[in-house]
């Protein structure tokens, strides 16, 4: 779509009570203004002019262009929405329509924006304006109409009389118009109003006076045009967004134990018959294959969970690939570079990093495996650790098929344990062990008869 966008994101957001610029507060794990930029990309806009002010450098360092040309424009003084738009006028192409959005209104759907642009393109000399109807419009600019129901202007709440305050159609601030006309109208703005600011909304009356029609459109859902000024409003929209994501997943065949207790902060792709319990947090890119079951209080980030695998309660899986019919947890942690082959079992309080775990292998509890290659059908006893770091470098541990590693074993890397090896409990393995061997390094047990424990002196 041949459209350019101005995003107003210069405000401080004093009511957020935060050092962080308002538009950088996160919803679903992503800054508010990034949602707006991404929506522009989704609708096919080719250029965004981002008007920044408070925390400008921090905003510039945080946002990502997301396959759309992005230009930063600085508004050093916050003198109103009309003044903010004026800062971006020099970068606008006269022959391309301009869409005006807000960095603290994150959930406007790209289809809604596309519809608004289409309305403008149907009448390229007019203005397409997004409005909505509220039971309590207090604080919002009111849409005024003539006896033919044509828009005549917008009156800000502080400037409205009693009759105008009774109007429940309000201005959202989102509009699309001809760029050359926008430049002309912005140049005519004045700040003769209760706020002493340059209102963008004044261009509506200018357009009408110039003989141009203002056509309105409404969003499908009110939350699409809700702005965020407080942390309470941020929390409310977070739940709205999360419930919407859960509904979309349920339509695709996902079962939620409670869709109101779910947090998606990235991208989640699910096959059929996936079950997700309460309080799960999904970050990055996560793929849940058919029949996967995710227990309560689980954190998943940039990972794949295989078909019919189960991740039990309170486990963390990050940067890992879990095969089919595996079980993980409860209270397990799979870190980056971990790969579980089919039918492997990782139990409670087991941590794995940068390791491949073979099919049918079990590490039931209380173990650490790092920089390891573990074969098929290996048993890892409780308290087993790979000592993979010597203070300067990481080293690899190799455990081959059918090995049995007894409890409280330390494998000092680099080391290789061969096939069918049995390592006795309490062993420290420092050299390679050949196939089919028993490895044991315990100190011979001693017993001293008649031993008396030390006692405290009175």
Residues with a catalytic annotation lie at 365
At which residue do the structure tokens 């690899």 appear?
A: 396
Q: What stretches of 137-279 adopt beta strand conformation (E)? A: 142-145, 151-155, 169-177, 214-217, 255-256, 262-270, 275-276
Nearest alpha carbon to residue 237 among 17, 15, 27, 447: 27
Phi, psi of 122 (to 5 degrees): -70, -20
248: number of CA atoms within 13 Å, CB side?
Answer: 11
Cα separation, 57 vs 278, whole angstroms: 38
Phi-psi region at 337: left, alpha or beta (left = phi > 0; alpha = psi -120 to 50): left
- Cα-flanking dihedrals φ and ψ of residue 269, to 5°? -115, 125
Q: What angle do CA 421, 423, 427 make, to 5 degrees?
A: 150
Residue pair 265/245 in contact by the 8 Å Cβ criterion:
no
Q: Residue 322: is the preceding peptide bond cis (ω within 30°)?
A: no
Distance CA 62, CA 26 (A): 11
Nearest to 307 by CA among 323, 318, 319, 294: 323
Q: Which three-class secondary structure state does DSSP give residue 56?
A: helix
Residue 332 CB neighbours (<10 A)? 26
Phi then psi dihedrals of residue 146, to 5 deg = -90, -175
How crowded is the C-beta side of 39, counted as CA atoms within 13 Å? 27
347: CB partners within 8 A, 6+ apart: 327, 329, 332, 362, 363, 364, 365
User: At CB < 8 A and 24+ separation, what contacts does 154-159 make?
Assistant: 154/199, 154/201, 154/202, 154/204, 154/205, 156/193, 156/194, 156/195, 156/199, 156/201, 158/193, 158/194, 158/195, 159/193, 159/194
Q: At what angle do helices 179-187 and 202-209 cross, to 10 degrees?
A: 110
């Amino acid at each position: 779509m041949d459209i350019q966008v101005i995003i107003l994101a210069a405000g401080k957001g004093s009511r957020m009570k935060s050092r962080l610029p308002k538009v950088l507060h996160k919803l679903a794990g992503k800054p508010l203004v990034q949602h707006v930029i991404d929506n522009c990309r989704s609708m096919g806009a080719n250029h965004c002019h981002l008007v920044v002010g408070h925390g400008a450098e921090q905003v510039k360092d945080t946002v990502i262009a997301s396959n759309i040309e992005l230009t930063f424009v600085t508004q050093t003084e916050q003198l109103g929405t009309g003044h903010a738009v004026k800062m971006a006028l020099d970068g606008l192409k006269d022959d391309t329509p301009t869409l005006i959005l807000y960095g603290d209104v994150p959930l406007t759907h790209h289809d809604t924006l596309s519809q608004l642009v289409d309305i403008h393109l149907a009448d390229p000399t007019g203005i397409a304006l997004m409005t909505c109807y509220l039971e309590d419009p207090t604080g919002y600019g009111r849409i005024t109409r003539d006896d033919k129901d044509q828009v005549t202007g917008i009156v800000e709440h502080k400037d409205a009389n009693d009759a105008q305050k009774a109007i429940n159609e309000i201005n959202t601030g989102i509009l699309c118009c001809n760029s050359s006309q926008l430049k002309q109208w912005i140049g005519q703005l004045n700040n003769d109003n209760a706020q002493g600011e340059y209102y963008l909304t004044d261009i509506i009356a200018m357009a009408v006076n110039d003989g141009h029609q203002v056509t309105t459109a409404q969003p499908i859902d009110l939350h699409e045009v809700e702005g965020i000024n407080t942390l309470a409003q941020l929390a409310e929209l977070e739940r709205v967004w999360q419930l919407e994501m859960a509904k979309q997943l349920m339509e695709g065949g996902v079962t939620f134990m409670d869709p109101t207790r779910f947090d998606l902060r990235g991208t989640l792709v699910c096959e059929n018959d996936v079950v997700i319990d309460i309080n799960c947090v999904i970050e990055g890119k996560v793929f849940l294959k058919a029949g996967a079951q995710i227990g309560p209080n689980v954190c998943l980030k940039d990972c794949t969970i295989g078909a019919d695998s189960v991740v039990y309660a309170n486990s963390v899986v990050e940067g890992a690939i879990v095969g089919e019919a595996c079980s993980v947890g409860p209270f397990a942690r799979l870190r980056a570079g971990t790969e579980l082959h089919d039918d492997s079992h990782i139990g409670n309080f087991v941590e794995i990093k940068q390791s491949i775990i073979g099919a049918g292998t079990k590490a039931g509890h209380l173990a650490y495996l790092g920089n390891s290659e573990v074969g098929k059908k290996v048993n890892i006893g409780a308290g087993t650790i790979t000592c993979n770091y010597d203070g300067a470098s990481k080293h690899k541990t190799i455990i081959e098929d059918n090995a049995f590693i007894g409890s409280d074993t330390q494998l000092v890397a680099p080391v290789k344990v061969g096939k069918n090896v049995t390592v006795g409990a309490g062993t420290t393995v420092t050299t390679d062990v050949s196939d089919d061997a028993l490895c044991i390094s315990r100190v011979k047990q001693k017993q001293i008869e008649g031993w008396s424990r030390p006692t405290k002196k009175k």
